[in-house]
Structure 1
Amino acid sequence: MSQPVRNVLIIGGGPAGYTAAIYASRAGLQPLLLEGPQPGGQLTITTDIENFPGFRDGIAGPELMATLRAQAERFGTEILAATVASADLSACPFAVETDQGRVLAETVILATGASAKWLGLGKDEALSRAGGGVSACATCDGFFFRGREVAVVGGGDTALEEALYLTRFATRVHLVHRRDAFRASKAMQARALAHEKITLHWNKRVADLRTARAELAGGAQERLEALVLEDTVTGATSLLPVQGLFVAIGHQPNTAFLGGQLPVDAGGYLKVEPGTCRTAVEGVFAAGDVADPTYRQAITAAGRGCMAALEAERWLAEREAAVC
C-alpha cells in the first residue's frame, strides 16, 4: 500500500508556520504541520508582547502562540509533535524523515525559525526564558526597560543597532565588546561612538551574571542585577550594575536538517526570490526568521507565512493539484 502524499507540509510551529497553516487549511489543502522541538517558536520564551496588532493591552508570548495554534486546528490543520531529522528535496513528492516516520508532500513550507546565539553561561538563556532581564531582541523588549541601565553584548551592526535603539528607553546603554574595534559598518560605528547615552567597554567579555531575588506581582523571581566582566587582555574582573542585558552576537537559522540542499546567504539564512517566499526548489517555500536576517519580528513572520501558503496554493493549482 503506497504512502499518502500531503498537499502541504509545514515544518515549524512559530507565527510563520501557524499562519501558513491557517491559510492553507482555509483553502482546503489539509496541511500537516510539524511543530518540532519548540512548539510556538521563540515567542514561547517571551513574557509579554505589546507590538503584535490586535492586542491593545499586550499578550503573553505562549498565549499568542496557543491562540494561533488553536485557530489553525479550527480550520482543519493536522498538527504533529514531531522533529524533522532530514529532508530529501531532490524530487517531488518531497520526503521528510521525522522521529515519528516519513512524510511525503507535494509542497513544503519551511518555517523553522532562527535561534539566538547565547553567551554559553546557561544563566543568560534561562533568564531570557523566565523574563529575568535578559533578551536577544531590543525591538521586542526594549520598551520594558524604560528608565533603566542596560548592556548590549556584541560588535557587529546588529549590536550597535540594538544599542542605539535602546537609547530611546534606557538611561544608559553599556556596549560590551571583547575586542578593541567593532566589526560594524563605519557609519554605524560613528553613530554609536557619538551617542551621549552609550558607554563603551572595550576588550571585555561577560564572564558571569549576578542576580537578585525580586518580589513581583506574580511572586518572587530572579532578576538580573549586574554583569561580571573579564578583561580579555589582563584577565582582571569588574562588576557592571545593569538591569537588562541584550545579547546581540547573532542568530543561527535552523536549517541543518536540509543538508545544504537550498542556497543560503552569508549568515546561513535561506535565500528566496525577491518579493516572494519561493526557494531555489520549485514547490518549496520559506517563511519567517529562517529566511529573514533583517526584521525577525512576529508580525513579519506571520505575514510571510501567509505569503508562503498562498504561493503553495497557487503552485498546486497550476498543476491541477495532481499528486507528483
Structure 2
Amino acid sequence: MHKTVIIGTGPGGLTAAIYLARAGLEPLVIEGPEPGGQLTTTTEVENFPGFPEGVMGPELMDNMRKQAERFGAKFRSGWVNQVDFSQRPFTLTVEGMGEVQAESVIISTGASAKYLGIPGEKENVGRGVSTCATCDGFFFRNKKIIVVGGGDSAMEEANYLTRFASEVVLVNRRSELRASKIMQNRARANDKISWSLDRTPLEVMAGERGVTGLKARNNETGLEEIIEADGVFIAIGHTPNTKFLGGQLTTDEQGYLLVKPGTTEMNIPGVFACGDVQDSRYRQAISAAGTGCMAALDCERFLDEAPLHAEAAAR
C-alpha cells in the first residue's frame, strides 16, 4: 500500500515526486520504457529557467530524478498494463511487479509525437529532426527548414519557424491541406514559406553534421526528388499515452485527460493528471513541471482531507 503512485517520469511526474517526497509521502514512481520522457531524446535545452548556458535534456531529467530520490521518492521500472479506479485503494497492474495498491494516483504519462516511420527519421532526432518548433527553432537561425504536415499544427509550426529560418518549405502528402482556412491563409501570406505539396516523404537525408534534406516522391509524376534543408520538423500531431486507462477517466476526442478547470483533479477523486497527457496546447517542459507541482499539492491536500480508513486499506 502506497500513499501515492506516480505513473511517468517526465518533467511533470518528477516535479510531483519532488514535492510529495519533501512532504514525507514517499511516492512510488513507476518508470515506463522511456524514463525521463521526451526530453531524454533532445540535446541542448535552452529555455528551461535557471540554466543561462542551457542544459542537456538527459542531464536535466537525471538531476530531477536524483532530487526526488534525495527526498525519499522510490523508483521502479515497469509498464502499467491495467488500472482499477473503481474503489480505493486503487489497483495498478504493473508488468514485472504484479499488483500495486495506492491511496492516490498521479498520471504523468505524456504524449508521444507521431512520426512518419521513414528511414533516417528517428536516428536523427536531435541532429536536425525535431517535433517541437518552440523547443528547437532557435537552433535553425538563418537556415532552411522543412515542415512535414498539413494540419493546423503544421501551419502554426511553419509560421513560428519563420522567426528564425531563412526559408521554410512545407511538405504534405496531398495537394489539399487539412488545416483550417484561417491557418492556411496565415501560412500562405508568409513570404518565407514555400510549398511542396503532393509529395510523399521517403527518407530523411543526413551526413556527419546532421540533416541535409528530405527525399520525397512527387505523387503526380512518380519521380523522386531531394529537398535540401538543414532541419526537418515533423508536425503530424501527438498521441496522448492514455490507452492503458481503459476509458475510466474523462478525455477529449483526441484522448487527452480532462482535468477540472484550475486544478489537476480528474473525474475520480484521488486521481490527478499532469504534464503533456493533459496538455494538448503548450507541451513544454516548464509547463509540465508546473502542473506536476500542482498535482502534488492537490494530491497532498486530498490525502489530508480524505484519509483511507484502516479497514478499507486492509481489503
SS of 2:93's partner is: strand
1:176 has 2:171 as partner: yes
Equivalent position of 2:91 in the other structure: 95
Deviation of the 1:144 alpha carbon = 0.5
2:204 corresponds to which of 209, 214, 236: 209
Deviation of the 1:177 alpha carbon = 1.0
1:322/1:234 CA distance change after superposition, 3 Å:
farther
* Counterpart Cα distance in 2 of 1:249 and 1:205: 13
State the one-letter code of the partner of 1:206: P
* Counterpart Cα distance in 2 of 1:212 and 1:160: 28
After alignment, is 97-106 or 286-295 more displaced? Answer: 97-106
Deviation of the 1:95 alpha carbon = 0.4
State the one-letter code of the partner of 2:26: Q
* Counterpart Cα distance in 2 of 1:117 and 1:269: 15
1:76 corresponds to which of 69, 72, 75: 72
SS of 1:210's partner is: strand
State the one-letter code of the partner of 1:309: A
Equivalent position of 1:127 in the other structure: 124
The answer to whether the 8 Å contact 2:88/2:308 transfers is: no
* Counterpart Cα distance in 2 of 1:89 and 1:155: 38
Equivalent position of 1:218 in the other structure: none
* Counterpart Cα distance in 2 of 1:30 and 1:115: 28
**TM-score, structure 2 as length reference:** 0.96
Deviation of the 1:178 alpha carbon = 1.2
Equivalent position of 2:156 in the other structure: 161
Kindly provide the CA deviation profile for residues 283-319 of structure 1, in whole angstroms up to 9, marking residues without a partner as x: 1111000110000000000000000110011111112
The answer to whether the 8 Å contact 1:316/1:322 transfers is: no
Equivalent position of 2:236 in the other structure: 249
Equivalent position of 1:186 in the other structure: 181
Kindly provide the CA deviation profile for residues 261-300 of structure 1, in whole angstroms up to 9, marking residues without a partner as x: 1121121111111111111111111100011000000000
State the one-letter code of the partner of 1:275: G
What is the Cα-based RMSD across aligned positions, in Å? 1.1
1:268/1:234 CA distance change after superposition, 3 Å:
farther
Deviation of the 1:186 alpha carbon = 1.7
2:288 corresponds to which of 297, 301, 318: 301
State the one-letter code of the partner of 1:98: V
Equivalent position of 1:111 in the other structure: 108
- Structure 1: stretches of 5+ with no match in the other structure: 215-222
Q: How many residue pairs are counted as aligned between the two chains?
A: 310
**TM-score, structure 1 as length reference:** 0.93
- Structure 2: stretches of 5+ with no match in the other structure: none
Kindly provide the CA deviation profile for residues 112-133 of structure 1, in whole angstroms up to 9, marking residues without a partner as x: 00111100114211111xx210
State the one-letter code of the partner of 2:15: T
